[in-house]
């Protein structure tokens, strides 16, 4: 009755609309007759282009008007076609609805009266093929349902969108009509332009009218179309249910049939195994192999059945999550978030699966896939052997059948073995098929699992962003005190605590000896080692008081370990109690809630106890970390009393957080939370106060922006707990719990970051002290070397001494950057899904890029947060690349000796690596993964390689120099006619400082392609050769002795290798001697030569041995006339 009335109303409204449209059309017929057509406009455009007497600006304006008119007329034709289609569809809607109702009734009747199909007579192969076909149909149905759901969602939002569009079009239509009326009274405009403008406005108004007609038709037909779409969805779901039942029936029947076949074969094989007990070993071995293959086949089929059920469960849960997600989106978009809907969605949020719940299944699937692949490989080898059964039979008979076997017996063995091998071939083939199906099933389960978890993560993120601002508890009223009394009585009820005790005893009963021993071990170890730990810690502190340099960094870590061990006993006992309670799976809800609260309270107590002991006066914080005594005392006093308020409050808040105890959570739990937040507000007030807090001294001496904003920091810190209280009081209790958790995590982040900063400073102080001592030793050694060198010697100072001040600056900058990065990233990760200021960055889309998701190419957005992360990467890379040398010096001091060249090579290579990693990370954040940019990089590399061949050759040579290290920073090399010390090896060129302190820049390619002499590559010892000439007649033995004594007097000459003095020949005017001695390093060559020359010259002079000048005898045979008188006359 209601359906007929609805159809009648719909048709009546449609007829009235058509009549009104016809009347309107008749009223405006005269105006429309005057309207130009699209062909006429095209002709006018062509004619206007041919005109030469119009200015270009005027012609462009007229052409623009005509062009818009042509576009409007084309769109007008589309709107008319759409309106006609809507009219035809409106006429057929009742018939379509009737047909759909009939199909729905038929589908419902089929599902209600459905009987199992008769599949017993159908061969297994045909059933397998049919199963594949039916699964394909199911996949098509799922795709059709997805499209239909999207259309349903669009239809749901359609009325509001249509109304908004109609309102917008009517406003535009009114503006166009006013412009058209004003155009008739407008003078001074060019006639051609005025006519074009008139045609433009006329086409625009006609388009508005046609569009409004189409929208009105859509609006009127919406109820019927919406109902029709719902019926289609209902029919598709019925068809899907029918298809699922059919597939399940086929699956179950095939599994049963295969199991029956396997059982039958197993029975036959068991019988054959019994019969083969007294037969030949060949028969027994083949029978045993068949039994093994059969058992494997049974096991694989059972696994397939198990994972099929698991896949169906996961698939059902995945579909339910998708359905809940879509339903939540529709409800929130249509009606917003109400408290009732918020509670429902919170329940769904709690029930969403987490990745860690399925981690074991995921690992099992991966292991099973690997194992299946290995088994399939083995089966392929067996199948190859059984490809020719006759050949396999002959091979086995030749290898294992003795020649003296009776012919009849041999024939019988041959026959039985042939039958067994044929059976084995069939078993192996079926087992291979089963493993293939098993691998496919595992892949399907893994794919469905990942789909479910991804959808759950998206749904969870969607809810987290919206549920925070939905009330979840009643506002605090006058009845709140009564509720607190009621909840307190429930909390203190002896019956509840007696149940906790009973459940604890039952939990211990599961593993009594093991659990009691663990509990006693915690107590006994604490009682036994407490005094020892305190004594050792006190010794370390006393040693630090006497001399702070006696305590190394490892001893600092040891002191922290002592504090941690002293802080753990009570939290461990609490954790042990909670663990024992979890072993009792039949525990009541009060005991389970008690367990949850105890675990959270134990973790919080461990943290508070650790910092309480750390901050004791004259303790680790003051003695080893050198924190100001006033700040340590202030922190210690707060931790001293706050533990006894914070831990019980956290316990009660967590314990009452179970949904079953919501009334107690809204009363007792909310009260405990308010007390907790008041405590935290007071503590933050004491710690953050600008005049009396921790930053008092810093604020007095600093004028930075941090100091100038001290009242802002104080206000934020003290106000945050009050914001949580405000949420709790006003009924947003779940939001208050979320904020409370994030506030506690933030405070832990701050305290542990401060501890990390203190440890880093302590390590830097210890390491810098070691570095300073090493620097002092090197300076003393250098001073000794300089004193040993004479004034004319070329003493080269060690340029590789560590720069303590520079290392200190770089290390401090690294530490500050690291701390700022930790705090910034930590704050963002904690608060990003709470504060809109954080989450809005992830919604601002800058551009899109293509990416592969689940094997499909999709457009992924690049948001502002990606750009900010990229900038963070740039900043961190710049800081770490600039200050990495300090880290190398600090890490290497006292552990291993690193040559200057090795240090420089390591620094450069790590810098290149950091820049490369940063480039890839930034490219990935901005949508340019390596798979997408590798071809561009390859093309650029080829282009730049040809265009900048020399530069690239030098760059590659620089990398080779750093890896192969034929030269190092500090080496003395000779390149061409230049000798000097290597000062820097850069990407393109190497810097060499010669003995005149001039710096030569040599392209790196020179060191690779040309001859190079490295004086200090593998051995710094070099030979010095000095040639000495003495006059004929000198005592050779005496000269040799003099030279040997001179060598021995020269301190810089090495004893090993042994010096040599050689009489090497006779000259024209002298006897030639050669001295070969060895210098420790290149810097000793000139001083050694200088000293040796002095000693030789003095010794030769002392023994009157002449170093002759070159002599020549000139024999004059003829003299020109007049030469001698002129000479004599001169």
Distances, alpha carbon 731 to alpha carbons 324, 343, 478, 627, 1120, in Å: 26, 13, 14, 43, 135
Mean pLDDT of 533-540: 82
Tell me if 1083 sits within 8 A of 795, measured CB to CB. yes
Mean pLDDT across the chain? 77
Query: CA torsion 298→302→303→304, rounded to 10°?
Result: 100
pLDDT band, residue 677 (cuts 50/70/90): very high
Q: Which residue has the tokens 């702070």?
A: 548
**Cα 375 from Cα 380, distance rounded (Å):** 9
> Tokens standing for 12?
């009546």
Residues 990-995: contacts with CB within 8 Å, 24+ apart? 990/958, 990/961, 995/794
SS3 1065: strand
Per residue in 472-521, pLDDT (tens digit) is 777 887 888 888 898 899 989 898 899 988 888 888 888 888 888 888 88
Is the model's pLDDT at 950 over the cut of 80?
no
Check residue 648 and give its pLDDT.
Answer: 93
Check residue 989 and give its pLDDT.
Answer: 82
Most confident of 155-169, 889-903, 1031-1045: 1031-1045
CA-based torsion, 282, 287, 293, 296: positive or negative = negative
DSSP 278: G
Check residue 606 and give its pLDDT.
Answer: 93
Is the model's pLDDT at 713 over the cut of 70?
yes
Mean pLDDT of 903-913: 69
DSSP one-letter string for 814-864 = HHHHHHHHHHHHHHHHHHTTT-HHHHGGGT-EEEEEEEEETTEEEEEEEEH
**Cα 321 from Cα 452, distance rounded (Å):** 8
Q: Does domain 1022-1102 have CATH number 3.30.70.100?
A: yes
Is the model's pLDDT at 703 over the cut of 70?
yes
Q: Give 43's contacts (C-beta < 8 A, 6+ positions apart).
A: none
Reference 424, options 288, 300, 299; nearest CA is: 288
Check residue 91 and give its pLDDT.
Answer: 72
Per residue in 786-816, pLDDT (tens digit) is 555 444 444 444 445 555 666 667 677 777 8
Mean pLDDT of 376-386: 82
Check residue 752 and give its pLDDT.
Answer: 92
**Cα 1029 from Cα 1042, distance rounded (Å):** 13
DSSP 1073: E
- Sequence spans of domains, the chain: 2-240, 279-467, 480-766, 1022-1102
Distances, alpha carbon 28 to alpha carbons 79, 205, 354, 696, in Å: 18, 12, 65, 83
Most confident of 82-91, 709-718, 957-966, 996-1005: 709-718
Check residue 787 and give its pLDDT.
Answer: 57
pLDDT band, residue 137 (cuts 50/70/90): confident
SS3 336: coil
**Cα 450 from Cα 725, distance rounded (Å):** 40
Tell me if 445 sits within 8 A of 705, measured CB to CB. no
Mean pLDDT of 445-464: 85
> Tokens standing for 678?
């008041």
DSSP 1050: -
Percent of the chain with pLDDT strictly greater than 70: 79
Is the model's pLDDT at 25 over the cut of 50?
no
> Tokens standing for 702?
């600093």
Backbone angles phi, psi at 365, to 5 degrees: -60, -45
Reference 535, options 562, 567, 504, 507; nearest CA is: 562
């Amino acid at each position: 009755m209601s359906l007929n009335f609805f159809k009648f109303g719909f048709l009546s409204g449609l007829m009235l609309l058509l009549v009104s449209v016809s009347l309107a059309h008749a009223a405006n017929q005269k105006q429309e007759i005057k309207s130009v057509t699209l062909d006429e406009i095209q002709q006018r455009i062509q004619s206007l282009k041919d005109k030469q007497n119009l200015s270009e600006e005027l012609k462009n304006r007229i052409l623009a008007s005509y062009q818009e008119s042509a576009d409007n007329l084309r769109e007008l034709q589309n709107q008319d076609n759409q309106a006609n289609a809507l009219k035809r569809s409106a006429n057929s809607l009742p018939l379509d609805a009737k047909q759909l109702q009939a199909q729905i009734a038929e589908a419902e009747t089929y599902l209600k009266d459905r009987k199992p199909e008769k599949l017993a007579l159908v061969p297994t192969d045909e059933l397998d093929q049919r199963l594949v076909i039916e699964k394909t149909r199911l996949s098509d149905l799922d795709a059709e349902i997805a499209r239909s759901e999207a259309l349903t969602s669009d239809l749901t939002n359609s009325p509001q969108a249509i109304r908004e569009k109609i309102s917008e079009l009517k406003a535009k239509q009114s503006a166009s009509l006013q412009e058209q009326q004003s155009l008739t009274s407008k003078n001074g405009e060019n006639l051609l332009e005025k006519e074009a403008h008139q045609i433009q406005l006329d086409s625009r108004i006609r388009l508005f009218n046609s569009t409004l007609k189409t929208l009105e038709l859509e609006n009127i037909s919406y109820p019927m179309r919406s109902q029709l779409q719902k019926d289609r969805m209902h029919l598709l779901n019925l068809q899907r249910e029918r298809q699922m039942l059919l597939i399940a029936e086929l699956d179950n029947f095939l599994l049963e049939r295969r199991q029956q076949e396997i059982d039958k074969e197993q029975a036959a094989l068991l019988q054959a195994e019994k019969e083969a007990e007294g037969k030949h070993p060949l028969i027994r071995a083949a029978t045993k192999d068949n039994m093994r293959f059969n058992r494997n086949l049974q096991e694989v089929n059972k696994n397939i059945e198990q994972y099929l059920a698991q896949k169906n469960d996961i698939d059902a849960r995945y579909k339910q999550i998708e359905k809940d997600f879509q339903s939540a989106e529709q409800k929130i978009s249509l009606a917003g978030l109400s408290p009732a809907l918020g509670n429902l969605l919170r329940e769904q949020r709690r029930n969403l699966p987490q990745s860690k719940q399925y981690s074991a299944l995921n690992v099992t699937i991966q292991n099973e896939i690997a194992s299946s692949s290995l088994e399939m490989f083995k089966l392929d080898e067996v199948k190859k052997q059984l490809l020719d059964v006759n050949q396999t039979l002959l091979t086995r008979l030749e290898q294992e059948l003795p020649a003296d076997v009776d012919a009849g017996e041999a024939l019988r063995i041959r026959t039985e073995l042939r039958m067994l091998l044929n059976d084995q071939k069939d078993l192996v083939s079926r087992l291979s098929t089963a493993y293939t199906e098993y691998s496919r099933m595992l892949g399907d389960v893994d794919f469905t699992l990942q789909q479910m978890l991804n959808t759950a993560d998206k749904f969870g993120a969607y809810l987290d962003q919206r549920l925070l601002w939905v009330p979840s508890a009643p506002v605090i009223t006058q009845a709140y005190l009564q509720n607190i009394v009621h909840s307190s009585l429930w909390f203190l009820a002896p019956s509840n605590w007696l149940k906790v005790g009973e459940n604890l005893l039952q939990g211990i009963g599961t593993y009594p000896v093991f659990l009691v021993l663990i509990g006693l071990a915690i107590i006994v170890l604490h009682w036994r080692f407490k005094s020892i730990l305190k004594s050792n810690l006190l010794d370390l502190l006393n040693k630090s008081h006497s001399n702070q340099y006696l305590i190394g960094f490892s001893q600092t870590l040891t002191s922290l370990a002592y504090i941690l061990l002293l802080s753990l006993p009570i939290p461990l006992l609490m954790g042990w109690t909670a663990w024992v309670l979890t072993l009792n799976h039949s525990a009541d809800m009060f005991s389970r809630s008690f367990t949850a609260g105890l675990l959270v309270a134990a973790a919080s107590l461990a943290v508070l106890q650790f910092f309480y002991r750390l901050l004791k006066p004259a303790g680790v914080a003051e003695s080893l970390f050198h924190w100001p005594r006033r700040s340590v005392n202030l922190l210690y006093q707060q931790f001293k009393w706050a533990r006894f308020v914070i831990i019980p409050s956290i316990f009660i808040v967590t314990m009452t957080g179970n949904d079953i105890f919501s009334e107690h959570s809204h009363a007792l739990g909310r009260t405990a939370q308010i007390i907790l937040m008041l405590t935290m507000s007071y503590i933050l007030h004491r710690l953050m106060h600008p005049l009396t807090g921790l930053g008092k001294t810093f604020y007095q001496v600093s004028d930075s922006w941090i100091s100038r904003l001290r009242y802002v920091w104080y206000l934020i810190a003290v106000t945050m707990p009050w914001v949580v209280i405000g949420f709790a009081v006003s009924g947003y209790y779940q939001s208050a719990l979320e904020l409370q958790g994030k506030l506690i995590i933030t405070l832990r982040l701050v305290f542990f970051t401060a501890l990390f900063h203190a440890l880093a400073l302590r390590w830097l102080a210890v390491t810098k002290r070691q570095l300073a001592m090493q620097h002092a030793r090197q300076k003393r050694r250098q001073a000794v070397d300089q004193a040993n060198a004479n004034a004319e010697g070329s003493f080269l100072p060690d340029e590789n001494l560590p720069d303590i001040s520079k290392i200190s600056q770089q290390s401090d900058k690294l530490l500050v950057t690291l701390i700022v990065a930790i705090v910034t990233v930590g704050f963002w990760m904690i608060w990003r899904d709470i504060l809109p200021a954080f989450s809005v960055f992830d919604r601002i889309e800058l551009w899109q890029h293509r990416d592969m998701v689940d094997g499909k190419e999709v457009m992924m957005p690049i948001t502002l947060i990606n750009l900010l992360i990229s900038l963070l990467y740039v900043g961190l890379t710049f800081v770490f690349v600039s200050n990495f040398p300090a880290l190398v010096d600090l890490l290497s001091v006292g552990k291993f000796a690193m040559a200057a060249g090795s240090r420089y090579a390591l620094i450069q290579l790590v810098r290149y690596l950091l820049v490369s990693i940063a480039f890839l990370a930034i490219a990935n954040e901005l949508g340019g993964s390596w798979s997408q940019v590798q071809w561009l990089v390859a093309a650029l590399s080829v282009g730049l390689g040809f265009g900048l061949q020399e530069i690239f050759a030098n760059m590659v040579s620089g990398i080779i120099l750093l890896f192969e290290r034929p030269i190092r920073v500090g080496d003395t090399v000779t390149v061409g006619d230049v000798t000097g010390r290597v000062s820097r090896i850069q990407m393109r060129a190497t810097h060499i400082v010669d003995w005149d302190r001039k710096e030569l820049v040599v392209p790196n390619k020179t060191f690779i392609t040309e001859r190079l002499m490295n004086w200090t590559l593998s051995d710094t010892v070099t030979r010095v050769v000095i040639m000495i000439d003495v006059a004929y007649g000198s005592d050779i033995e005496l000269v040799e002795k003099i030279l040997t004594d001179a060598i021995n007097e020269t301190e810089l000459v090495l004893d090993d290798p042994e010096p040599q003095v050689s009489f090497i020949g006779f000259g024209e005017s002298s006897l030639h001697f050669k001295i070969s001695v060895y210098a420790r390093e290149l810097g000793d060559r000139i001083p050694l030569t200088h000293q040796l020359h002095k000693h030789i010259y003095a010794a030769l002079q002392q023994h009157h041995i002449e170093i002759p000048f070159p002599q020549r005898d000139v024999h004059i045979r003829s003299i020109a006339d007049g030469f001698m008188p002129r000479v004599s006359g001169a």
